[in-house]
Amino acid sequence: MTARRGLEGLTPEQQRSWNAFMEMQEVLRSRIEQRLLAHSGLSNADYTVLVVLAAAPGRRMRLVDLGATLGWERSRLYHQLTRMCRRGLVQRGPMPDAQHARAIQAVLTDDGMAAIRQACRHHARDVRELVVDVLDDRQLEALGEASSALLAALRAPEQGRA
Amino acid sequence: MTARRGLEGLTPEQQRSWNAFMEMQEVLRSRIEQRLLAHSGLSNADYTVLVVLAAAPGRRMRLVDLGATLGWERSRLYHQLTRMCRRGLVQRGPMPDAQHARAIQAVLTDDGMAAIRQACRHHARDVRELVVDVLDDRQLEALGEASSALLAALRAPEQGRA
């Protein structure tokens, strides 16, 4: 029995699906990051932080909320934001309102907004070429549906159980 | 228009599917790595290299083939294998046969095989909890099918076009 077949309690079909997913996301992630770095100088992590902040009200989020959205531990978020602050993409500081006076927030800068706008133009082409043009509508929709279901479950323990 | 909505040439449905996928794999990847590190001391990258080598004939692969399978660039593979060699999980050396005399290969050690066997036992539980128990059969199958289609296209340029 190879290690690849060795996930106990999973049917062969479930293991095949899981292995295909794991390998795909490893290869796709690398390919997308190579392109992002080449055309925009951004890592996958930079890109994801910028996209999440750009979509947030006021382009700002409390660090605790940003960490929960990304599923990152505190130290990972801290180091990532330190690098992005140094490059002027993001600023970090206390919340301006009295209600959250002691909370620290991350704010997208104008340079950060310009960087994500520029990156999105090239990234759209990458996504079309590597994903959207490869799958038919039904496959892409199924991928989105499965992703949303997984994401909802992944985020549930943060708010509910623990 | 937020950056999140700003992928030109994609319909709103396509963008929703893509964003759901990107966020899901970011969060799932972090969660799985936290657990892998906690129960087995392995990163996602360690785990993937071990699984691929464990499934290869003779538990060995030429570096060029391993890099193509993982979709990794040369320097990333080099540094990853250097760390794994130091920990005794993998050995690196020339191919034993005359046909590939000048090719370098990576070989899974007995310690590496023991590490991946042990990790798989815990990882199977993580995969069931985070993925298999969350999706119904149809959703998991669709995820696997879309993944296989993407993977085939991602790997095609290596062998075909360029």
> Are A3 and B117 in contact (CB < 8 Å)?
yes
Q: What is the mean pLDDT of residues B55-69?
A: 93
* Measured distance CA(A15)–CA(B59) in Å, rounded: 20
**Confidence class for position A93, pLDDT limits 50, 70, 90:** confident
pLDDT of B52 over the 70 cut: yes
Tell me which chain A residue has its CA closest to the CA of residue B57. Answer: A2
- 3-state SS of B98-135 is HHHCCCEEEEECHHHHHHHHHHHHHHHHHHHHHHHCCC
- Cβ neighbors of A6 (< 8 A, separation 6 or more) are B117, B120, B124
**Confidence class for position B124, pLDDT limits 50, 70, 90:** very high
> Are A132 and B14 in contact (CB < 8 Å)?
yes
Q: Which residues in chain A touch residue B69, judged by CB atoms under 8 angstroms apart?
A: 23
> Are A120 and B3 in contact (CB < 8 Å)?
yes
* pLDDT more than 70, % of chain B: 91
- Among B2, B11, B16, B24, the strongest candidate for a mutation testing the A interface, having the largest count of A CBs within 10 A, is B24
Distance from CA of B51 to the nearest CA of A (A): 6
Tell me the pTM: 0.80
Residue pair A20/B150 in contact (Cβ under 8 Å)? The answer is no
pLDDT at A7: 78
Q: Could you say which of B20, B130, B141 has the minimum Cβ distance to residue A13?
A: B141
Q: Give the tokens for residue A122.
A: 């090239």
**Confidence class for position A96, pLDDT limits 50, 70, 90:** confident
